[in-house]
Amino acid sequence: MSGKITFTMIKPDAVADGHIGAILGKISEAGFKIKALKLTQLTVADAKKFYEVHSERPFYGELVDFMSSGPIVAAVLEKDNAVEDFRTTIGATNPAEAAEGTIRKLFARSIGENAVHGSDSDENALIEAQFHFSGREIF
């Protein structure tokens, strides 16, 4: 059975563009409960580690620079089937291909600066939540 938890970041583009409130509203409207939430900034080392799985991809350097370029909002979200349902809520990686009404379609700038992150598995959701939050910050 799929888990109830996913992890998200509102990325530096969407924070800089003033979309924190609108994106949290979309997340709430889609039925997710906020279990943890903070405004923070990734160091270059944090961003490298977080996206290590992409270290061989040509866009890795650009991705690390972008993700550490300004504040982000990190959050742990709860809902039945959280990982899959949240990826539906955010839409395709490339906003040009994202479905109407999805967070990336509404708020992303480009395939690289695409407004939000969503975990891709239950296992990674837990790893990512623990990367950003201590036990006492998750409710």
Residues carrying an active site annotation: 117
Does 118 interact with ligand ATP (rule: CB under 6 A)? yes
Q: Is the Cβ of residue 63 or residue 129 nearer to ligand ATP in the bound state?
A: 63
Please give the annotated binding residues, written as ranges.
11, 59, 87, 93, 104, 114
Near ligand ATP by CB under 6 A: residue from 4, 106, 112, 137: 112
- Measured CA angle at 107 (ends 121, 82), to 5 deg: 25
Q: What angle do CA 88, 120, 130 make, to 5 degrees?
A: 120
Site for Mg ion in 102-121 (CB under 5 A): 120
Instruction: Rule CB under 6 A: say whether 48 interacts with ligand ATP.
Output: no
